[in-house]
Amino acid sequence: MYIMGWRAAETAWNMEQQRNSSPPQHSRAPVIPSEHAMDDAQLKNLEARMGPTIVAKLGEDLDMRKLTGEEAMQFMMAMGIPMGGH
């Protein structure tokens, strides 16, 4: 356990050194309009598949940590991503 802890600390220190020596990064990538953007009808359809509870929890930020396991599964299924053999 001691060696694993020491190795984790060493790795973290090395990562910090690399981050400090690299040029500064922009905090956000530029927003580029996509040809795959959803229109209002597609967005309403997706929200209907997700359900009002999930839509209310996610809002604009799409923070999946706000969802329960069951809600996350429903979200993924609504997006067309098969999960867990459902």
Residue ranges covered by each domain of the chain: 39-86
Q: What is the pLDDT of residue 21?
A: 73
Q: What is the pLDDT of residue 35?
A: 64
Backbone phi, psi, residue 63, to 5°: -85, 100
Residue type, 26: H
Would you say 38 and 46 are in contact if contact means Cβ atoms under 8 Å apart?
Answer: yes
Q: Hey, what are 76's tokens?
A: 């993924």
Of 37, 38, 36, 48, nearest in space to 74 by CA: 48
Residue type, 83: M
Per-residue pLDDT of the chain (86 residues), as tens digits, is 777 787 888 888 888 887 777 665 655 655 566 666 677 888 888 888 888 888 888 776 777 888 888 888 888 888 888 877 54
